[in-house]
Structure 1
């Protein structure tokens, strides 16, 4: 007999409680990652002034921060596949606050550089681990929730910046502000760690049992897919980094007042956050490839029209469109990468995340270098061009292992965990030809509850 596979919340009352705690724990990890980086970024000018660093030395410090992030991301992939995302999240989530505190107390630019290198490694490791855990949580939920995690990262970044601003307004030092952020992030990490559960993973026997997947030519070219996903992440995060560094400057050159110029990035960040808050519903309602194309058209087309308008108002609207268009892109790409091989989610995810991060840290330099030769207004048209890649290469997120409704396991348990496929219909419309689905889910609930005790 054919029965509907309903979301966990409608199957048994125990699943929502267990998974909600797991989801909340991962959500706090995203919040921690966003808050710590936001706290640091907001006080860069003050730190430079206090240590009396020249721009060249500050550039070296920022370069080491970026290099540490890349090292952490690449190392995280192997660690996750060997030990699981839950284990890998523990050390960096607890250590981020300490590294931030060291940066706040650094007496010289060399000690600051060392602290930022450590901060970058920890932040990069946590970035990949928490996204891998988010993919597993999404699979257990049986519906898209990835974008909401990234919304919390954005909210955390704003909260960190506001915390730094508030401390500065009260006359507190950078060290005091960073100490407050360190205490909050470490406390949140400690609370979350006790509520993390083993992530659902697939067994080799499960993977080998799917002859359809084995025959799928797309699945036989995983490196090509990873490269394409990384290319899209690189392109999207170039735009995000460039908007952060050049939006306000561009408006100033259009004749905007300083207050109005500051609203350009604010509009970008706000629209991205709002887009992520509704992104899960969009992901559930729209096929991922179509959603990715829509994101490219809204972001690229909106920014192009805003730049062509040539006024501060149209430019602000253009950057707002860019933020809305990019809001769902990275969650879609990371979700696809993490589900390519459920038995080894870290390998693909770390590569895609590292390429994306490389785009974020090089984006401002790419636009700045082009602006020297063709002017800033013309250089910003690079971003709409990159957005067209999202439209052209969108089919890369069209299919995934979740398409075959592959079952997962919860470490030693054979209960099926619904994977979120990139072109699956909403969970309440999925069907399984099985009479034992409810029994399997009940077993999974017992396993999850046992892990939380």
Structure 2
């Protein structure tokens, strides 16, 4: 079947549509996170009850990721990601009106499920757009997600400082999310331009194959990377304050340094991928993350820690985009299922990382515990050849 090439305007719109979905995914998460204290206070939740709510998000996300892969392969990423993007704005509003813990847990389960579906489907569509562009552009999409997280947190903070209620905050942001998703519907790349697309009947008849070894291994790499992201989010500030005797203000700069450098790395990631290739880039990034954090832990000084967490963020920045890109390109006919499996395994690392660090820290202290994600980053560097594109 001959596939006509899309016009430059169609390509630009397709890229902007994926940017838009990554942006609203980040904004939704950032807004929710910024209003957690208010929701906790409104419902009088204990720390343990809040953890049940957070577990609901995680459970919903993993179930959504597991369920969506085959739908993408059968119907195309466009037909899955647009409804998910529209629903993202709706489910963001639900927790604002939850009157009790069970209702809030159910609302956040729905939020997590929709977010998981959106996460996999927008990454699958990003792979399609990257394939049509015929050059690396995946890192820039993930940079926009990071920027969206910053924006969401900032917007939530502004609403909170103005004394706005949680329903007003989530309703306003949810409306913007829905409007952006509606525009993405108009601009998303039609499935006819996907060179790896199979007819619906053929995709429906294709038997489900067990997870290939390369999918599992890419999932392990994603797991290692996201253990590091989770550890930085939950333990960088604690390490600075409790072990290095930093003030809480300085402690907050630890994760800020990580996040800013991760975003900067992703903004530069496409150019670096084009120049170095995915294997050398991930090898260098993993080494930078691992060595930077290990040296920081050995020095044990506040300034060194801030620099080290910044290097850790810069090192991890380009790994997940390259892992997801490899998963989507390796077998275009089953890119949805491959991305779903890799994302699910990786997300488990984001959840397990902080728990693992906490358990080891309890036994050995935080410096040794934080060496675990550094060692995992070095493992990713050593395993970088797994990202080498398959020979056609």
Query: TM-score, normalised to structure 2's length?
Result: 0.93
Partner residue in 2 for 1:229: 218
Aligned positions, number? 376
CA distance in 1, matches of 2:359, 2:38: 26
CA drift of 1:318 comes to 0.8
Match of residue 279, structure 1, among 235, 253, 269: 269
CA distance in 2, matches of 1:117, 1:228: 28
Partner residue in 2 for 1:133: 125
Question: Is the aligned partner of 1:66 residue 2:58?
Answer: yes
Match of residue 309, structure 1, among 282, 299, 317: 299
Structure 1 residues not aligned, in runs of 5+: 1-11, 206-219, 405-453
Whether contact under 8 Å (1:229, 1:396) holds in the other structure is yes
CA drift of 1:222 comes to 7.4
CA drift of 1:204 comes to 7.2
Q: Report runs of 4+ in structure 1 exceeding 3 Å deviation.
A: none
Question: Is the aligned partner of 1:81 residue 2:73?
Answer: yes
Partner residue in 2 for 1:355: 345
Decide which structure has the larger Cα Rg and report it: 1
CA distance in 1, matches of 2:368, 2:262: 23
Cα deviation 1:194-240 (Å, max 9, x = unaligned): 111224143679xxxxxxxxxxxxxx997111111000000000100
> Residues 353 and 26 (structure 1 numbering): CA distance in 2 closer, same or farther, change over 3 Å?
same
> Residues 68 and 360 (structure 1 numbering): CA distance in 2 closer, same or farther, change over 3 Å?
same
CA distance in 2, matches of 1:82, 1:142: 23
> Residues 295 and 174 (structure 1 numbering): CA distance in 2 closer, same or farther, change over 3 Å?
same
Query: TM-score, normalised to structure 1's length?
Result: 0.81
Partner residue in 2 for 1:322: 312
> Residues 35 and 203 (structure 1 numbering): CA distance in 2 closer, same or farther, change over 3 Å?
closer
Match of residue 267, structure 1, among 234, 245, 257: 257
CA distance in 2, matches of 1:76, 1:296: 30
CA distance in 1, matches of 2:64, 2:263: 26
CA drift of 1:257 comes to 1.1
Match of residue 95, structure 1, among 87, 98, 104: 87
Where 2:280 maps in the other structure, the secondary structure is helix
- Greater fraction helix: 2
CA distance in 2, matches of 1:116, 1:138: 32
Whether contact under 8 Å (1:201, 1:343) holds in the other structure is no
Match of residue 202, structure 1, among 196, 213, 224: 196
Question: Which segment drifts farther, 376-385 or 159-168?
Answer: 376-385
Whether contact under 8 Å (2:330, 2:389) holds in the other structure is no
Partner residue in 2 for 1:6: none
Once superposed, what is the RMSD of the aligned Cα atoms? Answer: 1.6
> Residues 192 and 221 (structure 1 numbering): CA distance in 2 closer, same or farther, change over 3 Å?
closer
Question: Is the aligned partner of 1:339 residue 2:333?
Answer: no
Partner residue in 2 for 1:189: 181
Whether contact under 8 Å (2:142, 2:321) holds in the other structure is yes
Structure 2 residues not aligned, in runs of 5+: 200-208
> Residues 339 and 57 (structure 1 numbering): CA distance in 2 closer, same or farther, change over 3 Å?
same
> Residues 204 and 172 (structure 1 numbering): CA distance in 2 closer, same or farther, change over 3 Å?
closer
Whether contact under 8 Å (1:222, 1:340) holds in the other structure is no
Where 1:344 maps in the other structure, the secondary structure is helix
Match of residue 248, structure 1, among 237, 242, 246: 237
Where 1:271 maps in the other structure, the secondary structure is helix
